Amino acid sequence: PNGLAPLSPGLMWLQQGEGGGSLRHTCERSDGLSRYGWLMHDGENFGAQEIRDGRLALKTEFVKRPGGEHGGDWSWRVTARAEGAGGPAPLLSLFFYVATDGQGTLQPHLENGTRLAAVTGTAEELGRFTLTFLRPTADSGEDPKFASYNYLDAASPGLHCLTDVVRSSLSNRFVFAPPGGPRRRFFAVDAFRGLPGVAGEPPRGRLLLHQVTLEPPATVEVTFE
């Protein structure tokens, strides 16, 4: 969403597979994504976007509500579906993040030590804000959906390095274990130990990241106020 210049919220995703799969970051041009574009938006208060990545269809929707301290609070909903035949869909990880670059403060709020439930902070143009990560629901938006949660809190060498920071933090020591379902290993953010080539440089900001791993279809919502 516009108007968040000192803060950079964003989305990455990973279709889990042997060898880790490919980490995607809001459509870098080299990704070879088959479809990426705005379905509808009015430029200001509403936007819906669809991304196709192999069998995965991701729809992101922004809805801005008038009022609040920031010229309108907004919610951000991501719906994931696997399309076509070809066996069960791979596990999907969605990475919701917020990063500062040069200014602003971020404070994580954890639930059970592993789920990043919310981020509060301050930014020069926004004042105080709260970003809340709601639990995923089934496609209908009603029933809760089983998910595994991981989070990352890392010093950021710069916004242009965020994909590399996340990729270098992934480990496959985690197990997805839904009640009554098969146990599967998956890649998740673990610990960031720095990037080669930027070891001596002071960090430019901070990255907080909320990873949700689940079986599509599912919907995840984030609110900003």
- AA letter at 140: S
CATH number of residue 111's parent domain: 2.70.98.110
Higher pLDDT, 34 or 198: 198
Q: pTM (2 decimals)?
A: 0.88
> 111 in a domain, yes or no?
yes
Q: Give the rounded distance of the alpha carbon of 115 from its chain centre.
A: 13
Task: Name the DSSP letter for residue 6.
Answer: T
Residue 73 region, left (φ>0) first, then alpha (ψ -120 to 50), else beta? beta
pLDDT single digits (tens) 77-116: 899 999 887 777 789 999 999 988 888 899 999 999 899 9
DSSP secondary structure letters along 60-77: EEEEEES-TTTTSEEEEE
Whether 1 is in a domain gets the answer: no
Instruction: Count the domains in the chain.
Output: 1
Q: pLDDT at position 201, please?
A: 74
The pLDDT confidence band at residue 17, using thresholds 50, 70 and 90, is: confident
> What one-letter code names the amino acid at 194?
G
- By the 8 A CB rule, do 185 and 166 touch? no
Residue 21 lies in a domain: yes
In the β-sheet with 56-65, what is the strand arrangement from edge to edge?
35-41, 46-53, 56-65, 73-82, 218-224, 127-133, 115-123, 105-111
Whether residue 173 is contained in a domain is answered as yes
Cβ atoms 162, 171 nearer than 8 A = no
- Give 46-68 pLDDT, tens digit per residue: 677 888 888 889 988 887 776 66
In a domain, 2, yes or no: no
Between the alpha carbon of residue 60 and those of residues 47, 50, 79, 84, 150, the distances in Å are 8, 6, 7, 20, 21
pLDDT in tens, 122-166: 887 778 889 999 999 997 667 899 999 999 999 988 888 889 999
* 64-88 per-position pLDDT tens digit: 776 666 555 788 889 999 988 777 7
Weakest-pLDDT range from 31-35, 147-151, 153-157, 201-205: 31-35
> Which residues span the domain enclosing 52?
7-224
Q: Which residue has the higher pLDDT, 95 or 197?
A: 95
pLDDT of res. 41: 55
- Is position 61 within any domain? yes
Residue 27: pLDDT over 70: no
Q: Tell me how far apart the alpha carbons of residues 25 and 204 are, in angstroms, rounded to a whole number.
A: 20
